[in-house]
Amino acid sequence: MTQGGEDVKLLGAWASPFVIRIRIALNLKGVDYEFLEEVFGVKSELLLESNPVYKKIPVLIHDGKPVCESMIIVQYIDEVWATKGPAILSADPYDRALHRFWAYYVDDKWFPSVSAISRAQTEEAKAEAVEQVFAGLKLLEEAFQKCGKGKGFFGGDTIGYVDIALGCFLAWLKATEKMTGIKFFDEAKTPLLAQWVERFCADVAVRGVMPETDKMVEFAKMLQTKFKAAASAK
């Protein structure tokens, strides 16, 4: 049991950006929770019971009830612990819709292009993926200007829904930068995002859960080896 008699568990893995989202949201709200680490490549019985449809992390288990899919969980946390910590989603319906749109864009369009860099089998495919990532960052720079309204985060004065959706990938991006030599958050190209990265990573809700770059590089190399082996097998 956590403080206040609530039982909050999180099924996840340290390297998963989607799990990092939940940990940041729980930290923002000051919610105590038990982190149940899943073994990479193995699905626990608890995971299969808690998420029988998708069979994947993260899963938040609140008083025995499972909630699945990362951004749905973030919204759940915001609503259940509405009186604790800052609001993650705006109270304004239009702003809320706008933030949901950009969070969906990050998952649907932008992050797949980041993943494509490490999965690319040719230099041409890699170059195309890098170009897509930069095109996406340009759009997100404009979104930051619109959503943040001149303040420090997409959510305004504090970390919000889009900050969590995008910021959870920063450890992966830093690892990719180290492995490829490509600088994604260039102050000349996306000055607002470059400054936002520093603010986001320095926040107390983020610092303790953002993996170290070298550790992420090791993990990414292991994944690349698996991808290459799978591609060769085909």
The fold of the 93-216 domain, in CATH, is Glutathione S-transferase Yfyf (Class Pi); Chain A, domain 2 (1.20.1050)
Residues of the chain with CATH 3.40.30.10: 3-80
pLDDT at 174: 94
- Cis peptide preceding 58, ω within 30 of 0: yes
The answer to whether the predicted template modeling score (pTM) of the entire model surpasses 0.85 is yes
pLDDT, tens digit, 9 for 90 and up, residues 72-101: 999 999 999 999 999 999 999 999 999 999
d(CA 160, CA 107): 16
Report the mean per-residue pLDDT for the chain: 94
The fold of the 3-80 domain, in CATH, is Glutaredoxin (3.40.30)
Residue 225 above 90 pLDDT?
A: no
Beta strand residue intervals within the chain, DSSP E = 8-12, 34-37, 59-62, 65-68
